Chain A
Amino acid sequence: MSRDRQRLAHRDFEDIVDLSSKDQQERLERLDDGLRQDVEELLGADRAAAERDFMGAPALVENADDLRLEAAEAPQAGAIPRAPAPERLGPYRIVEEIGGGGMGTVYAAVRDDDTMDRRVAIKVIRAGAENEDIVRRMWLERRILARLQHPNIARIYDAGSTDSGLPYFVMELTDGLPIDQYCAQRQLGIEDRLRLIRKVCRAVEYANENLVVHRDLKPSNILVTADGEPMLLDFGVAKVLDPEPSSEDLEARTEPWRRRLTLEFASPEQIRGQPVSVGCDVYSLGVLLFLLLTGQVPRTAEKITPWIFDSKEKTAEPPKPSRVVAAAPSTSGPGHGARKLSGDLDSIVLGALQDDPRSRYTSAKDLGDDIDRYLHGFPVRARHGSASYRFGKFLRRNAYKVAAAGVFLALGAALVGSWLYTGAQAIENRARLESENAKRKQIIEMFLGIFEQAGPLVSGGVDLTLREAVDRYLSRSAADRLATQPDVKAELLATLGWIYFDLGDPQAALDHQEESLKLRRNFGHSTVGELESTVGVAAALAELSEFERAASLNSRALARIAKLEPANPELHLKALNHQVSMLCLQDEFEKAEPFSRQALELSRDLAPSTSQDIHFAKIQRARVMGSLGNLTEARSLYSEALATLENDYGPQHPLIAVLHNNLGAADYREKDFEAAVETWSAADRAYRDAFGPDYYERVAPLTNVGKAFQRLGRRQEAEAAYLQAIDVATTSPGLKASNESFYFGRPAVALAGLWLAEGRCQDVLELLEAKASRWKKGRIQRQAVELIEECRSRPATSEKN
């Protein structure tokens, strides 16, 4: 076959390879016989190759050990032939060679003047161009390293250089197995493995606190002795070998620096060549934990490239250990199912493996403490704080951070303002005024205190989220002092309640608001305060799907707020907003309409102000109007709100996701389902970008996308969207069981409807039956019950169709 002819066949093949087999036949028939045969052969080969995944993976180096010999035979720049073992090094007599690694050779040796014949280990560093620098740095670091005295850290006694100028370290000789081999050989269970790692964490914590970062933690540097004690080797050695880049050696740094990294255990900042801190030890401990729990590393070296960590792709997130174990159980793992890992342990591991050091555990101590909590059955911080981790990420990614701090400050100012105001009322009573002044001062102190937590000295250079700062402040100092001042405490609790509410933690919001309400009822002379806490309790209850209690509390509070003298329009707007929100959650749009109109009018009076309640009033009014069929007003309000929001906060504010979600609803009602799919997908993206893929509010836009697809007759895509929504609702750590009907229920009922229409009754029952009985009464629950009954009443034969 001529070369031109082959190329012709290639072109024809490429033209038709993606067509349906019917179209392929049609096109083939138009070719002349010879060419047709060639193209047919290629098509056949294409199918067979695809089936067998022919050439699917890049070339493998088979028996790569030989390659090493070849490399050794051909001397390379920088690769130094191995020298024979020296007889002695300085005052040490070499006894035997006990190991070699990428870095150099290790010998057992005895000091000449040691009458006890005590053995030490000497690590001779393989030669490189930078020897002199290493020796110089070694002398600088030697004293610091010699000061490290911890039962789980191998002591470094001495350092020097050989006659030929190779640097060496003298250290405590440890007899043991690398930690991963030890665990595998003893077939340790999960708790034993955790206890071992906890010890490692404690040792790292000790070194870190003495300002020594290991920088190269990996199994071969963590030996476990016969009596089960882990020993950490080579502390600080990595730093001596590869110092922090200073500006003058920045250019030269890349090559020697990366050559020694063990990529699987190195932190992203090390791989990227950025400055390192204790965070890199935390990351390596995370990899170690992952390895000991799953038998695998989160990222193999082949997958580690600097742009993996740079990219914004979510695929760069390490997998959850439980999923890894579920997908491929390993023989060297602790031999338990994925179930045991999912939840707390997943959270702990991923908390240590965050790409951004600021999102990780702030220290080996925090990681060790959380492992401790797990072992003792307490809730772990990584999980408890997951909403704040996400919120923290969101803040960091956006200029919104500044705005959030602004909102926080505004809250503080409002609090202080209310105290000033009450203070003015009480001007005749001098004693009382003094007490108001004291409270005012306390509040200001509290806010300063919270901000101090975020300062670099207190936080240890770590960028705290708002919530972490609040938590730290409370745990460190304030709680006891404030307890003596119930009204101050009530104020603080209410403020925190709202912050938790905004952080997407309604349960914590409820706890704080309820406590605040109790205090204000018992001690309060502040009706406004009591009403504010009541609205807070109601809002949190509604988020927890306790609609009846929420509605009755809020309506009563609202009636009283409307009659307040002097009027309090901010609180009034808040109460109205939550009233509308609650009614909308139950699809009671007609009932919500008058409240939403009132809220909108009130918000226009209050503007200009950056209070979220003003935006919220607009958005909710639009939602109500859209649901009642007035799409023109809805759209115009949405556009107005979108413009002000983007102006105030930039493009990633969560309310913008809410807006897209509601705009999608308008598209849907206008029966423009294509547009609805797009708008709702935008809403989903906005949530995901702001809070991460597990964020539970994604359930709403995803379910909606499914409904729009269903109306378009695109069944597969509809099903996929529902399943994704269900997946988020099942895995999102932010969700509580009490919310199941709302978050899991909506997509599940929609999917069940789709399946029922196809006669898949068994699937419907499996999806809903066990769950629906425990759901709260409401529309979703009713629909679920109807679907279940429908399926039960159908004859079993329908399954076979």
Chain B
Amino acid sequence: MTSKKITDHLIAWSGGDETALAPLMDQVHRRLVGLASTLLRSERVDHTLDAAGLVNEAFLRLVEQQRIGWRDRAHFFAIAAKMMRRILVDHARRRNSEKRGSAAYTLQLDQIEPGDEAQSPDLTVVDEALKELEGVDPQLAELVVLKFFGGLGRNDIAEVMGLSSATVSRRWRTARAWLYKYFEGQP
């Protein structure tokens, strides 16, 4: 699928055409994985690869910038965030299963130093937490996906979820507190 088609689907979907969503998600998922591998091969100064950076790159490369507005952009990011969750969690699960025997380890919260970005919570646990949160307060779960897996900013999240930016900030704090409690309760 060319970027033109991806862009067409994106514009159609964010304009309200729900049938455009399935092919769009499918393509974005395939392209994100491909892109991650391309990026890792290419010569980059900085070898860390975070989800937000990947989504940004995906946007740059897959979407025709000239044709879309910022609303379409926010919607693209929302989809990419959901895809990132799938890709990264699958990846983490696979890695964990390869290390079987050492038991799925979870990150001790006390080990997280403020500002220490190298530490990221185990994504399989994040995924389980999100599944539970979806049962309790689905809006919070969606917000976490957009922010954590998609790196979306407050205003983009507000656009995608149809909330005010202030509400997004407040809801994020609830989500974060809820997740913190969840991780704290883990063995």
Contact = CB atoms under 8 A, between A and B. Distances in A.
Interface of A: 3, 6-7, 10, 13-14, 17-18, 41-43, 45-46, 48-49, 51-68, 70-72, 74, 76-79, 100-102, 180, 218-220, 251-252, 254-255, 258-259, 262-264, 271-273, 291, 297, 300-302, 304-307
A64 to B, nearest CB: 5
Interface centre among B94, B95, B140, B178 (most CB of A within 10 A): B178
A101 B56 CA distance: 21
Interface in B100-152: 109, 112-115, 117-118, 120-121, 123, 126, 135-137, 140, 144, 147-151
Given A70-B33, A76-B33, A79-B38, A61 B43 contact: no
B18 interface: no
B137 A10 contact: yes
Contacts of B109: 48, 52, 54
Given A42-B174, A252-B4, A258-B60, A68 B36 contact: yes
A74 B50 CA distance: 21
Contact of A304 (B34, B38, B56, B70): B56
Contacts of B186: none
- Residues of B in contact with A, size category: 35 or more
A433 B113 CA distance: 85
11 contacts: A17-B170, A56-B117, A59-B84, A62-B95, A67-B91, A76-B33, A78-B34, A255-B62, A302-B53, A305-B59, A307-B70
Interface string B53-97: 110110111111110001001000000000010011001101100
Contacts of B33: 67, 70-71, 74, 76
B49 interface: yes
Nearest to B70: A307
Given A55-B121, A58-B150, A291 B136 contact: no
Given A54-B109, A77-B1, A301-B44, A61 B91 contact: yes
Given A79-B38, A272-B65, A14 B171 contact: yes
A57 B45 contact: no
Contacts of A78: 34
Given A264-B44, A301-B44, A306-B60, A273 B37 contact: no
Contacts, number: 208
Interface of B: 1-4, 30-31, 33-34, 36-38, 40-46, 48-54, 56-57, 59-66, 70, 73, 84, 87-88, 91-92, 94-95, 109, 112-115, 117-118, 120-121, 123, 126, 135-137, 140, 144, 147-151, 170-171, 173-174, 176-181, 183-184
A305 B31 CA distance: 18
A45 B56 contact: no
A42 to B, nearest CB: 5
Given A13-B174, A305-B60, A70 B94 contact: yes
A7 B117 CA distance: 31
Contacts of B88: 59, 61
B25 to A, nearest CB: 15
B41 A68 contact: yes
Contacts of A66: 91, 94-95
Given A13-B174, A102-B41, A258-B61, A58 B94 contact: no
A76 B180 CA distance: 37
B95 A72 contact: no
A246 B18 CA distance: 34
Nearest to A3: B136
Contacts of A58: 50-52, 147-151
Given A18-B170, A79-B37, 18 more contacts: A53-B114, A57-B120, A58-B52, A59-B120, A59-B123, A67-B36, A70-B33, A70-B94, A77-B31, A102-B43, A252-B2, A254-B65, A255-B62, A259-B61, A262-B44, A302-B52, A305-B56, A305-B59
A68 B148 contact: no
Contacts of B37: 67-68, 71-72, 76, 79
Nearest to B34: A76
